[in-house]
Amino acid sequence: MHAKLNQDKTDWSPFPYLQEADVISVQRGPEAGGAAGGWRALRETMRGMKTTFARLVEGPVTLQYPEEKTAVYPRFRGRHKLHRFTDTGLEKCVGCSLCAAACPADCIRVVARENDPDDRVSAGERYAEVYEINLARCIFCGYCEIACPFDAITMGHDYEMADYNRADLIFTKEMLLAEPIERAPLKREGE
Amino acid sequence: MVEPIRELVTITVDGREITAPEGQMLHDAAKSGDVEIPVFCYEPKLGEPVGACRMCLVEIEGIPKLQTSCSTPIRDGMVVHTKTDQVKEAQNAVVEFLLVNHPLDCPVCDKGGECPLQDISMGWGPGKSRFTDVKRHFQKPIELSPLIALDRERCILCYRCVRFSQEVAEDEQLQLLERGDRTFVGTFDDRPYDDPYHGNVIELCPVGALTTYTYRFRARPWDIEDAGSVCTLCSSQCNVKFSIRDEEVLRVLARDNEDVDDGWLCDKGRFGFQSFGSEDRITQPMLRGGDGELSPISWDDALSRVTKALKSSGEKTAVLAGGGTSNEEGWLLGRVLREGLAGNAIDSGAHPADAGAVRGLSNPALTARMRDIDHAGAVLVLGADPRNEMPICDLRIRKGVRRNGVRLAVATDSPTALDRRAHAVGRYLPGAAAGFISQLAGEIRSEGSSSGPDAEAVAALATELRGAEDVVVVWGEELWSEPRAISALMDLATVLGIEGTETSGLIEIPTEANGRGLREVGCLPGASAGLAEAPAGPGVSEFCEKLRDGSLETILLADSDPVRTHPDGEGWKQALGNAFVIAISSFETPSASLANLVIPAENFSEKEGTITHPEGRLQRVRRNVPPPDGLLPTWNFLAAVATELGVDCGFSDQPGLFTAMTSSNGLYQGITEEDLAGQGVRWQDREGAAGRVPAGGATPQMAAPTSAPGSAGAPDSIRLGTRRDLWAAEVAERSPALEFLVPMQSLEISIPDAERLGLKQGQAVEVSAGDGASVEAKVAIREAMIPGAAFLICGARDGNGNLLTGAVPGSRTIRIEVATPVGQTENT
Ligand code: SF4
Ligand code: SF4
Ligand code: SF4
Ligand code: SF4
Ligand code: FES
């Protein structure tokens, strides 16, 4: 290291710590305490207060949750939804388990089954007999949505999922398919 | 004929020097040097490569065009490139072409996630297709058989399944039909594919064209865990791999072990897992109450009742082990009886084996390895139908005959599946094996010495065997029912010079899956663990009599079902009805339904222990799923019983038990659990094996070829024999997928006899023998039958042939009465 630093030096010495280039001088402010210190504290406090008072005139921004709810962005990743085809009413999910494979939290469980041609559940050969997401474990990464080859699962906007019981956080296929109560308002353009 | 040894040569693949035996296929040689070449159709298990898919193209210096590495044998100094632009282009093109007609419905395809086509398309494909036309369409899955669904759209025409059917199982049913892009896999006339090995094509198919109904859509590879064990449903003891999801076995796959199963499974082993979760399974100890019904009791209660029963009968106790009873369990059973009760009535198997003869036959120089069959000069199948008794052995013999020019001689009482491939076939009457074998030995010794009706057949067999370089004799346990047959067999072995060579020998097909192991751990009268000398005792056929006359009072059946599987089923019924019966069993089998106490048994996905293959290979059965609630491991229960009876066990866990078992056994001494890892170990292959077998005991007497084997009793009488059927088994009846295969009883009879008696094919008859017992059967007239004998399936659910046999098989003649008048017969 030192050899490099001293390359342009003509009087190269075998004792690099004596070289001038190694001397670092540190700039320090005035010592704390005393009048200078007091002044500095006051100045910083005033600077903070300026911000505070400036916000004051903007009025309160507190949301009266749960009466009022935070609006979310359209791409917000909230609780999942499973979808049906609008025309046939069949489930889009074919139980392929790709979402389960993609899920980094390992919280999706799919057990597939063969469709009965006379009583179809999904459009393909197979359907998900069991489809469960353990929302207590989900990290809302949205990988499942990306993995799904049929857009059968999407992330909704609902973020109100607290419950008293962990077991209640396991959402079954019926719960995920049900038309969710849209509680979370969307942010408006430009908001 | 020993497996040829090939010279090592050096080739260069992608700049790496690889040394491999000359003539090895380039793909395999590259693989041994860690160079991966994608393949679809190549599968060494199937024999010669066909080069159907062109996925494996590589560039070889000096050859202008690309070559298929799966079918190019290597030569010294070959320089190969697998990653050049030319090769890449070819690979891309092959994948693109394959996908032209492929539906790419991976999300609904059962193969998704473990599909070579997916993997190769990702790894070696162009990434996108230029194909915009309409793809070829077929009706989505059709039933190839009741167990296999065929989706012809997905088939890439690799020929693997067809080659399996044509060249491995040799059932010749699968074909590629039509031509060009309309080609599809199918059977003649759309008949269901019917073959006891056909499940293997599911594993062979590199795409999702062939899938099984039992696993369809149950799980993805990332949902399951793989777990290895050994199938204990028959003596082939195939190595298996379970796919387990949520602690439930969903599928059974082959776990390649070239020494044992060659990578194949039979359908019983592949689909029999369904019986594990059967609703009828007994999962708690059961006591038969006064009303004759079984009701559950606690394990403590069961233990005290079993101990009490055993104590009270003391040395008048018999133990009969069978099925998948492990070596450890068998050893504990022996100790319970011999040390705890001072008894000596212990046996395994269905036919009475003699301790002295077993010792003689256990001579390592006399035992063949399974792989010796591959390159034997000749194979003699004696008194067994491998297809029905040890299915994988049948495949092994076929492989030897087809690929390595093994000469095959078959000498049995009833026709076998191998007859068609045999170079010589001999038939003897049931119960006349001894005479036939000694005649054969005599004929080999001096040509032209045999006489009588069989002379021609014997001469033909002798011609195949005489002078053959290495002979492997595959013989059935049934021969033990004729004591003289065993000494004749020993004589035959001497004539064939088996003891002198490494690669020849005998292999016995036991009736019970762990037949060999059970004998070697002491479930044999007159021999304790390691075949050591022990006080003589009655054998299995005497149990029956002694239980009836009261000189034995209690019998402990370990996974054994004598009423069903042993000769003289009727006699066993009475015997068990007369005695106090403790049955260790998974189901209420015909024998367990006569038991006073039933102790639930584990199956081979739940059991921890070892079993011994007929070639002497110790293999490990592993616990992969927990047994149903609270089911105590059988060894645990037996150890508790032993302790109660004052036997010092000195181990508290399974590994301890294993060590205790092996260290007390002269044959197994020194084998550790590590030695068994993966492939198992033959005790004969360990050091000092020759000295491990205790010396003799009684030497069986030589049989003189006296009675001409062709002579039946009275002229025109028909002797009754039994034959085994793969599907006449408890496991088939308890597995929903296999139930359709459970056979109806049929009476196999020769053409002349059928003509004489005026019997028609498929006619319903009533067969009776001995003291009036009778079974109903359909007539099956077969060409390869010996006149003067007729065969019933033993162990059949309806009309078990064993009910008629009497204690000595082949000793009875039958009466046949027509149940439906001629004219109303159906053709089967
Ligand atoms: S959002 Fe992420 S963590 Fe949640 S279920 Fe989907 S893949 Fe799993
Ligand atoms: S939600 Fe989509 S990815 Fe998940 S199982 Fe269903 S179809 Fe497959
Ligand atoms: S069905 Fe499967 S194994 Fe048979 S030819 Fe087609 S792709 Fe190959
Ligand atoms: S051949 Fe025997 S051991 Fe092998 S899978 Fe079939 S039943 Fe099991
Ligand atoms: S693997 Fe070589 S042609 Fe198919």
Tokens of B395: 């495949």
Q: Which of B459, B489, B507 is the last residue of a domain?
A: B507
Of ligand 4's listed atoms, the one at least distance from the Cα of B392 is 1
- 102-121 of A, contacting B, C-beta below 8 A: 110-114
Give the nearest partner residue to B140 out of A98, A100, A125, using CB atoms: A125
Contact (Cβ atoms closer than 8 angstroms) between residue B275 and residue B281:
yes
Q: Which residues of A touch B217 (CB under 8 A)?
A: 95, 112-114, 125-126
- The CATH number of whichever domain residue B314 belongs to comes to 3.40.50.740
Lowest mean pLDDT among A82-91, B287-296, B535-544, B805-814: B805-814
Q: Which atom of ligand 5 is nearest to the CA of B69?
A: 2
Q: Check whether residue B518 and residue B641 sit in a common domain.
A: yes
B562 and B594 belong to one structural domain: yes
Q: Which is the closest atom of ligand 2 to the Cα of A112? A: 5
Domain A80-177 has CATH 3.30.70.3270: yes
CB B181: neighbour CB atoms within 10 A? Answer: 11
The predicted pLDDT at position B707 comes to 41
Identify the band that residue B773 occupies on the pLDDT scale cut at 50, 70 and 90: confident
Q: Are B576 and B563 in contact (CB under 8 A)?
A: yes
The residue among B453, B417, B436, B435 whose CA lies nearest residue B787 is: B453
In this structure, the residue with its CA closest to atom 7 of ligand 3 is B155
Is there a single domain that holds both residue B329 and residue B401? no
CA distance A92 to chain B (A): 12
Record the pTM. Answer: 0.90
| C-beta of B46 in contact with ligand 3 (< 6 A) | no
CATH number of the domain that residue B200 is part of: 3.30.70.20
Q: Kindly state whether residue B118 falls inside one of the protein's structural domains.
A: no
Q: How many CA atoms lie within 13 A of B198 on its CB side?
A: 22
CA A185 to chain centre: 18
CB of B578 closer than 8 Å to CB of B548: yes
Domain holding B69: CATH number?
A: 3.10.20.740
Does B356 reside within a domain? no
Task: Work out the minimum CA distance from B109 to partner chain A, whole angstroms.
Answer: 8
The pLDDT score that the predictor gives to residue A181 is 74
User: Residue B711: is its pLDDT beyond 80?
Assistant: no
Token output for B389? 């008794």
Find, in chain A, the residue whose alpha carbon is nearest to that of B107.
Answer: A96
Asked if residues B409 and B464 have their Cβ atoms less than 8 Å apart, the reply is yes
Task: Check whether residue B520 and residue B576 sit in a common domain.
Answer: yes
Is B314 in the same domain as B254? Answer: no
Give residue A18's pLDDT band: very low, low, confident or very high (50, 70, 90).
Answer: low
3-class DSSP state of B478:
helix
B165 and B270 together in one domain: yes
CA-based max dimension of chain A:
95
Closest CB to A101: pick one of B108, B216, B220: B220
| Of B163, B264, B149, residue with least CA distance to B215 | B149
Contact yes or no for B473/B311 (Cβ under 8 A): no
At residue B521, what is the residue type? Answer: V
- B332 located within any domain: yes
Q: Are residues B638 and B724 in the same domain?
A: no
Please give the single-letter amino acid code of residue A121: V
Tell me, yes or no, whether B673 lies in a domain: no
| B246 residue type, one letter | D
Among residues B454, B485, B507, the one where a domain terminates is: B507
> Best mutation site among A90, A91, A94, A97 for testing chain B: the one with the most B CBs within 10 Å?
A97
Q: What is the pLDDT of residues B129-182, one digit of tens each?
A: 899 999 989 998 999 999 999 999 999 999 999 999 999 999 999 999 999 889
| Cis peptide preceding A60, ω within 30 of 0 | no
**Exposed, middle or buried, B716 (CB in 10 Å: 0-12/13-18/19+)?**
exposed
Of the candidates A101, A114, A149, which has its C-beta nearest B217's C-beta? A114
Q: Are B646 and B761 in a shared domain?
A: no
Instruction: Mark whether B399 and B376 lie in a shared domain.
Output: yes
Q: Which residues of A102-138 are buried (b: 16+ CB within 10 A; e: fewer)?
A: bbeeebbbbbbbbbeeeeebbbbbbbbeebbbbbeeb
pLDDT digit string (tens) for A30-82? Answer: 666 678 888 888 999 999 999 999 988 888 888 898 888 888 998 999 999 99
What is the least distance, in Å, from the CA of A148 to any CA of chain B?
A: 9
Non-local CB neighbours of B630 within 8 Å, separated by 6+ positions: B283, B284, B299
More confident residue, B826 or B493: B493
**Residues of B in Cβ contact (< 8 Å) with A125:** 108, 140-141, 217
Percent of chain B residues topping a pLDDT of 90: 85
- Residue corresponding to tokens 């120089």: B365
The count of domains in chain B is: 5
* Residue found by looking up tokens 């017969």 in the block: B825
Mean pLDDT, range B490-495, rounded to an integer: 95
A101 at interface of B, judged by CB pairs closer than 8 A: yes
pLDDT grade, residue A20 (50/70/90)? low
Residue B699's Cβ-side half-sphere holds a number of Cα atoms within 13 Å equal to 5
Q: Are B140 and B253 contained in the same domain?
A: yes
Contact B572, B587 (CB under 8 A): no
- Ligand 5 atom with least separation from CA of B56: 2
Burial class (CB in 10 A: 0-12, 13-18, 19+), B21: middle
**B754 occurs within a structural domain:** yes
Confidence class for position B606, pLDDT limits 50, 70, 90: very high
Domain residue ranges of chain A, discontinuous segments joined by +: 1-61, 80-177
Non-local (6+) Cβ contacts of A24 within 8 A are none
Which residues 46-105 of B have a C-beta within 8 angstroms of A? Answer: 105
A124 inside 8 A of chain B by CB = yes
Is B698 part of any domain? no
Same domain flag for B207 and B295: no
Considering the domain boundaries, does residue B823 fall inside one?
no
pLDDT at B701 over 60: no
What local confidence, expressed as pLDDT, does residue A4 receive? 45
The ipTM of this complex is: 0.84
Single residue among B461, B480, B507 that ends a domain in this structure: B507
**Domain assignment present for B679:** no
Sorted by sequence, the CB contacts under 8 Å of residue B257 that are 6+ apart come out as B238, B239, B263, B678, B679, B680
- What is the distance between the alpha carbons of residues B260 and B680, in angstroms, rounded to a whole number? 9
Residue found by looking up tokens 């009886």 in the block: B337
C-alpha of residue A163 to centroid of ligand 1, in Å = 19
Cβ of residue B732 lying under 6 Å from some atom of ligand 4: no
Residue B112 near chain A (CB below 8 Å): yes
Q: Residue B218: list chain A partners with CB under 8 A.
A: 111-112
Q: Does B220 touch chain A (CB under 8 A)?
A: yes
What are the tokens at B229? 């064990």
Both B73 and B144 in a single domain? Answer: no
Length in residues, chain B: 828
B contacts of A95 (beta carbons < 8 Å): 217
Domain around B460:
367-507
Single out the residue of B407, B428, B429 nearest to residue B418, CA to CA.
B407
Distance CA B351, CA B807 (A): 10
Q: Are B490 and B360 in contact (CB under 8 A)?
A: yes
* β pairing state of B471-476 and B378-382: parallel
**Contacts with B142 from chain A: Cβ below 8 Å:** none
Q: Are B220 and A125 an interchain contact pair (Cβ–Cβ within 8 Å)?
A: no
Burial B718-736 (b: 16+ CB within 10 A, else e): bbbbbbbbbbbbbbbbbbe
